[in-house]
Structure 1
Amino acid sequence: MAVRRRLAYLAAVLTLLAGSGFAVDRWVWAPAMISTAGAGFDRPLPIPPLAPSHRDRHGRRVYDLRAQAGEHDFGAGPVRTEGFDGSYLGPTLRMARGEQVLVDVHDDLPEPTSVHWHGMRVPAAADGGPHQLIAPGSSWSASWRVDQPAATLWYHPHPHGATAQQVYRGLAGMIIVDDPATGSPALPHEYGVDDIPVIVQDKRFTADGRLDAANAPLAGIGLLGDTVAVNGVTGPFLPVVTRRVRLRLLNASNARTYDFGLTDGRRFALVGTDGGLLEAPVRLRRIMLSPGERAEIVVDLDPGRTEVLRSFPHPLGAGRLGDRFVGGDDTLDILQLRPAPVLRPGPDLPAVLAPLPLLTRDRAARTREFHLDDDAINGLPMDMDRVDARPIAGSTEIWRVVNDDGIPHNFHVHGVQFQVLTVAGAAPPPQLRGWKDTVFLPPGRPVELIMQFPRHPGPGVYMFHCHLLYHEDSGMMGQYAVIDPGS
């Protein structure tokens, strides 16, 4: 039964129960709303270490990652988790445009895994999707030339049918791409001081303290936690010593969409989205990120005055009843910023950040249409042996994507960055005008994406899918292969 039909059925049941005098509010309605506002911040925010690397004899920058099980303390005692090179999350991979990189990945888990470089333009054989599984006790190597603007990306597992559980247990990490031509020296850039990775995930714990991996009841979107962990800890605070701080926000949650803002209502500067810097800063009070999306924001702070980054209630397009059950009514404190009494000044934000060449409709060779509904795309659940699209290398296409369900979805395309042409027929808001690889899909409102497919050596397939991981694992995913002209 399609999710929207399940929600309609639920609404009818609740209406009947309420009409019969049943205490629906105490039974299901009130507990579905979560608030952690004012819960307190008592743990310093850990900064993921930069991954060590070395140059091999071919001049490649080489990283080693090891997926392993362990125990991690979120703040109430150790629980069983997984991570890269540690018990939870992984180090930040920092690399520069133009470098040839090699990542050796070792699987020390009791099950197969893979590692996908989310947002990275790589050959299909190095993409780390479900076709590049790593068996327990074995290794896999991926190599590519970094050829994209300065950006905040991330890495995570992608085994078909098991992605949600592995990411939830902690297998994820950030990637930072540096590029002088598309970066800005005027932005805060001292890693861990004024340039801060903020990896946001929601968790739920059982009565005996273990991670609870059960899907949220009545939601249809997978796991929704009642506790937020940032860089692996709950209730974090960040001591700040500079007037401006750059937060690299990553929504690494399984299903939850956040609407980030500061509790005093002050504006921040959005300077970058999934695929790199915007052409100019955009002043906002809120930035909504669905699972997999990133945003770089710069916050101006006052000496000695604490600020709180919070996720506020926000509409998700599922209606009054549906939004409550998919997290739209929740209020979640994320991170407290604690400025010192005296702050180090820095340069003003530049009026222009980076060049942003636009892909225009007249360049598109063709338009494709994708409808997401009932654990399928265009009526077809994921099939590892089926290729759903074959764009030509170097060509530009428009993909019109429609959420036909009554609940939230989003859309991630491997191997490329795209630009948003329209949302429901209108020009996109400023926060959607940069390079993107993942975009929220409001129910019933078509989103047009334009993308140019790069030329990479070797055959293989890339994924496109909903990045609510329960939906991805359940079959809301397809594959495309980039082919040579005339192939």
Structure 2
Amino acid sequence: MKRRSVLLLGTLGLAACSAEPPPHEPTYTNRLRIPPLADSRKSADGATEFALELRADGRSSFLPGTVTTTWGINGAYLGPVIRATRGDRVRMIVTNRLPEVSTLHWHGMRLPARMDGGPHQTIATGATWQPEWTIEQAAATTWFHPHPHERTAMHVYRGLAGLFLIDEPGGPDLPDRYGVDDIPLIIQDKRFSADGALVEGGVESGTFGFLGNRILINGTYDPFFEARTSLVRFRLLNASNARVYRVGFTDGRPVRVIAGDLGLLERPVDVDRVKLSPGERAEIVVAVRPGEQLLLDSRGEDSSTANDIEEEDFPLLKVVGAATLAASAALLESLGGAPATPPPAGARVRRFVLSGSEINDRDMDLSRIDEVVPAGAHEIWELDNTTYAHNFHIHEVPFRILDVDGTPPPEYQRGPKDTVFVPKKATVRLSARFGTHTDAVTPYMYHCHILRHEDKGMMGQFVVVAPGTEDRVSRSLPVAHTHHD
């Protein structure tokens, strides 16, 4: 039915590995791990500082009786949750303790290009990088992960990722007590050998790269969460390398979506399931009754035309209502999300043809500027996918989905976004609003966020410059990498 084998090229040899035990039926016996909030301090100049250390010495227990070597940020696996408020000036003190060069990219953040953490802002082993910026965007669930050229897939798979939550003063009354009624759900697929080691075959090979057969939520396998309030806000992040999820409840109750990648919707939207490709986020609010048990899972799509990434049904999380629940404030019918602004008449249209691992027939070149955009521009970006499924992420730039093959997106996907799923042989049009940070020699990236595709070269670069100076910008960068050492 839903399960298709188109992607088996990405996992050749894994299923046949006799040392890899099959998943068992879910028992939901492991309490959901809640990543800790990151510690911060106020510097003498007034900035809020967060110290982050990329580590390769993690020892994690995912499956019973086994220990797995993992990478993490300030811990064995994943990173802490950074939480800051609009208007804060933040400084990240990022130290690389890995045995190889890496970076740390702030996915979904509006900030100067030189602070973005893309493949140009590399951090040598033992070095420290200190980007800083003022948070200038509305409340949102963003995240951070490495972005080293041609090695992103492996770094993320081994465990380097974390959430970055932005709050906004005066926002709507929503569940916001972290770890109580405001809960992150970082969804990742993995494979494990019999001794608990991460199976890495397929991460850097095949058509789509890695597809796992076990799901971790916040680094917890087979998890449950005990709700103690009548409403719970779950912040969903697809931090997998390639897999697409369709998240919903097994009893068919509606999923109440309140936010997408980059902020709140205008009003809650009830849907059967929320579709998330790698890098996408959504926030949902769930009503729980005392003693109730809810099962959150992912279902493959029935339509063979929607996606050609191998799809399977996966259990995700059991939500258990405590015997007594604290009453939550009723969910508002108006969330205050900004309405979409249509592109102006005569807006520039930029077309990007997506093929197997190229954009506009070119592989990534760190020394080449592909697009030059005037600051403050409001453009239409047209993604013409000529082959199998992709998705598309633009650094720094929020956009709205105009249409997919001429059809408007589902209502829950009409809020501000930074990553979009692009079905096979489909055309997706985006309304993109560019910021005012200008830099003619430090680029932002756009790329497929299926990490194998990104690493193979499905990525391009653009700079944002003062309006009227576009023709004076060199399309060649003098330095391909900026090392911090």
- 1:218 Cα deviation from its structure 2 partner: 10
Does 2:379 match 1:392?
no
Does 2:180 match 1:193?
yes
Seen in structure 2, the aligned counterparts of structure 1 residues 218 and 340 have a Cα distance that, compared at 3 Å, is: same
TM-score normalised to the size of structure 2? Answer: 0.90
Q: After superposition, give the CA deviation of every residue in 1:191-230 in whole Å (9 maximum; x if it has no partner).
A: 1001001111000012432101112899721100000011
- 1:8 Cα deviation from its structure 2 partner: 12
Partner of 2:46: 59
Partner of 2:403: 422
Structure 1's consecutive aligned runs of 4 or more residues displaced over 4 angstroms after TM superposition are: 6-10, 34-38, 216-219, 315-319
Contact 1:43 1:237 in 2 (8 A): yes
Contact 1:418 1:451 in 2 (8 A): yes
- 1:444 Cα deviation from its structure 2 partner: 1.5
Question: 255, 263, 266: which one pairs with 1:276?
Answer: 263
Identity %: 44
Larger relative helix fraction: 1
Does 2:82 match 1:93?
yes
Tell me the amino acid that sits aligned with residue 458 of structure 2.
M
- 1:362 Cα deviation from its structure 2 partner: 2.3
Distance 2:27 2:346 in 1: 51
Partner of 1:374: 356
Does 2:164 match 1:175?
yes
The secondary structure found in structure 2 opposite 1:165 is helix
Distance 1:431 1:146 in 2: 25
Seen in structure 2, the aligned counterparts of structure 1 residues 107 and 216 have a Cα distance that, compared at 3 Å, is: closer
Partner of 1:362: 344
Tell me the amino acid that sits aligned with residue 60 of structure 2.
H
Seen in structure 2, the aligned counterparts of structure 1 residues 264 and 35 have a Cα distance that, compared at 3 Å, is: farther
Partner of 1:144: 133
- 1:457 Cα deviation from its structure 2 partner: 5.0
- 1:348 Cα deviation from its structure 2 partner: 1.4
Partner of 1:126: 115
Contact 1:149 1:276 in 2 (8 A): yes
- 1:90 Cα deviation from its structure 2 partner: 0.4
Tell me the amino acid that sits aligned with residue 433 of structure 2.
Q
- 1:304 Cα deviation from its structure 2 partner: 0.5
Partner of 1:105: 94
Partner of 1:301: 288
The secondary structure found in structure 2 opposite 1:353 is coil
Superposed counterparts of 1:287-366, under 5 Å: 287-315=274-302, 323=308, 326-328=309-311, 330-362=312-344, 365-366=347-348
Distance 1:360 1:140 in 2: 38
Note the residue ranges of structure 1 that are not aligned, 5 or more in a row: 1-5, 11-26
Distance 1:302 1:364 in 2: 52
TM-score normalised to the size of structure 1? Answer: 0.89
Tell me the amino acid that sits aligned with residue 356 of structure 1.
A
Seen in structure 2, the aligned counterparts of structure 1 residues 216 and 90 have a Cα distance that, compared at 3 Å, is: closer
Q: After superposition, give the CA deviation of every residue in 1:109-132 in whole Å (9 maximum; x if it has no partner).
A: 100010000000010000000000
Distance 1:51 1:230 in 2: 19
Contact 1:123 1:457 in 2 (8 A): yes
Partner of 1:478: 460
Alignment RMSD, CA only? 2.4
Distance 2:195 2:207 in 1: 26
Contact 1:7 1:218 in 2 (8 A): no
Contact 1:36 1:331 in 2 (8 A): no
The secondary structure found in structure 1 opposite 2:379 is strand
Q: After superposition, give the CA deviation of every residue in 1:369-397 in whole Å (9 maximum; x if it has no partner).
A: 11111210011010001111111001111
Question: 387, 390, 400: which one pairs with 1:409?
Answer: 390
Q: After superposition, give the CA deviation of every residue in 1:265-308 in whole Å (9 maximum; x if it has no partner).
A: 11121000000000000011200000000000001112101111
Question: 42, 58, 70: which one pairs with 1:81?
Answer: 70
Seen in structure 2, the aligned counterparts of structure 1 residues 28 and 44 have a Cα distance that, compared at 3 Å, is: closer
Distance 1:483 1:286 in 2: 40
The secondary structure found in structure 2 opposite 1:390 is strand
Partner of 2:29: 42
Q: After superposition, give the CA deviation of every residue in 1:159-187 in whole Å (9 maximum; x if it has no partner).
A: 01000000000000001000024x311x1
Seen in structure 2, the aligned counterparts of structure 1 residues 316 and 83 have a Cα distance that, compared at 3 Å, is: farther
Partner of 1:14: none
Contact 1:155 1:174 in 2 (8 A): yes
Partner of 2:431: 450
Seen in structure 2, the aligned counterparts of structure 1 residues 409 and 8 have a Cα distance that, compared at 3 Å, is: closer
Note the residue ranges of structure 2 that are not aligned, 5 or more in a row: 470-485
Question: 186, 194, 202: which one pairs with 1:215?
Answer: 202
Q: After superposition, give the CA deviation of every residue in 1:288-342 in whole Å (9 maximum; x if it has no partner).
A: 00000000000111210111110011157568xx84xx332x1111111010122
- How many aligned residue pairs are there? 455
